[in-house]
Amino acid sequence: MKRSLANVVFGLLFWGLISSSFAQQQAQPAKPEVPSISVQNIKGNIYQVKGGAGANTGFFVGEKEVLAIDAKMTEDSARQMIAEIKRLTSNPIRYIILTHSDRDHINGLVGFPQGIDIISQEKTRIHMDKAFQTAQDRACLPNITFSDRLNLHLSGISPGKLIELIYYGPAHTDGDAVVYFPDEKVAFIGDLIFIGRDMLIHRSKNGNSFGLVKVLKGILGLDAEIFIHGHGEPATKKEIQNLMESIEEKQVKIQALVKEGKTLDQVKRIFNIDDQGSRRMSLVEVIYLELTEKK
């Protein structure tokens, strides 16, 4: 009888420990799965790379070389991107153009072979110079920068394939580059648009919502039909036009509220903004601060 009772007690304790362990495992949030890398042909020899860690990237396959646009967020995802490029061509990657300095666009640079020319707008390099502290990272600092425009000619039939790099001014950051393929009427625009979600402006990198409107007007002036961005499907001119107009409408409304003497909290309530716990500043708050801060 004593042995039987002991067995019962042991069994209850055993199953109790298993149940407790299972409950703890269930309570721990599962790590989000990183989607697989995939390649989408956009037009001609222009491709978009989706999935992996980090923002959408892209590349162009030239006659003798490859030009990559942005570098994913991790070394592993960058190597997966390179593997996909090698499936399509044996041409070496000669250039990487960075649309801006956010880590989900640049931290994968360590996964690319050494000796590739890395190109960015000059202010993007300044931000990277502050962020990249290790010797491995600093070896990936851009070695070619530009101020307003840079025309790049890939090897091929003279004068070569033309790709235009354009800087319109501060917007998402103060170093956003547009990569424009005039022949294909395709433009890579980084994080200058977010479709279906709140627009992100990095005030810490001197981004500006009024500057963004100016930049979007510049992009709309391009003879382009397809716009590749960091976080979504390829966009159209109409979608960019709608986004720009919605930002302008917010600016006009917030400007009127500021003139009425409304506080930031009051303005956020009017726009139903609840950003408690959010690590990102809402566009409404950005616009309010731009309108009220002392120049």
pLDDT tens, residue by residue, 151-192: 999 876 556 789 999 999 999 999 999 999 999 999 999 999
Residue 277, pLDDT score: 67
Domain residues of the chain, as ranges? 38-236
Q: Assign 279 a pLDDT band (cuts: 50, 70, 90).
A: confident
Q: Which residues contact 151 (CB under 8 A, 6 or more apart)?
A: 162, 163, 164, 165
With cut-offs at 50, 70 and 90, classify the pLDDT of residue 30.
low
Class level of CATH domain 38-236: alpha beta
Dist. CA 109–CA 99, nearest whole Å: 13
**When comparing pLDDT for 27 and 99, which is higher?**
99
Q: Which of 72, 143, 57 is nearest to 103 (CA)?
A: 72
More reliable by pLDDT, 280 or 61:
61
What is the average pLDDT value for the chain, to the nearest integer? 90
Mean per-residue pLDDT, 223-242: 97
Rounded to whole angstroms, the Cα distance separating 27 from 34 reads 21
Q: Where are the beta strands (DSSP E) in the chain?
A: 38-43, 46-50, 57-61, 66-69, 93-97, 117-121, 144-146, 149-154, 161-166, 178-181, 186-188, 226-228
